A and B are shown apart, each in its own frame.
Chain A
Amino acid sequence: NAGVMQNPRHLVRRRGQEARLRCSPMKGHSHVYWYRQLPEEGLKFMVYLQKENIIDESGMPKERFSAEFPKEGPSILRIQQVVRGDSAAYFCASSPTSGGPYEQYFGPGTRLTVT
Chain B
Amino acid sequence: AQTVTQSQPEMSVQEAETVTLSCTYDTSENNYYLFWYKQPPSRQMILVIRQEAYKQQNATENRFSVNFQKAAKSFSLKISDSQLGDTAMYFCAFMGPYSGGGADGLTFGKGTHLIIQP
A55 touching B43 in the complex, CB below 8 Å, given contacts A41-B110, A42-B109, A101-B95: no
A91–B50 alpha-carbon span in the complex (Å): 20
Whether, in the assembled complex, B33 has its beta carbon less than 8 Å from a beta carbon of chain A, the answer is yes
Known: A41-B110, A42-B111, A43-B91. A105 touches B47 (CB 8 A): yes
- How far, in Å, is B29 (CB) from chain A's closest CB? 12
CA distance A33 to B95 in the complex (A): 13
A43, A55, A56: the one within 8 Å of B108 (CB): A43
Q: Is the interface of A mostly helix, strand, loop or mixed?
A: strand
What is the 8 Å Cβ interface bit string for chain A, positions 45-78, against chain B (1 contact, 0 not)?
1111010000110110000000000000000000
Q: Tell me the count of chain A residues lying within 8 A, CB to CB, of chain B.
A: 31
Known A-B contacts A42-B91, A105-B47, A108-B42; the reply to A33 vs B111 at CB < 8 A is no
Interface residue B105 (Cβ < 8 Å from any Cβ of A): yes
Contact residue among B102, B103, B106 (Cβ-Cβ distance under 8 Å from A43): B106
Chain B CB within 8 A of A109 CB: yes
How many residue pairs, one in A and one in B, have C-beta atoms under 8 Å apart?
66
Show the binding face of B for A, using Cβ within 8 Å.
Answer: 4, 33, 35, 37, 42-47, 50, 52, 91, 95, 98, 101-111
* B68 nearest CB across to chain A (Å): 16
The chain B residue with its CB closest to the CB of A9 is B43
Q: Is the CB of B43 within 8 A of A89?
A: yes
Taking a contact as CB atoms under 8 Å apart, the answer to whether B47 and A103 are in contact is yes
Inter-chain pairs besides A33-B105, A42-B110, 13 sampled, C-beta below 8 Å: A33-B106, A40-B110, A43-B108, A47-B105, A50-B102, A58-B105, A59-B105, A93-B45, A104-B106, A106-B44, A106-B46, A108-B43, A109-B44
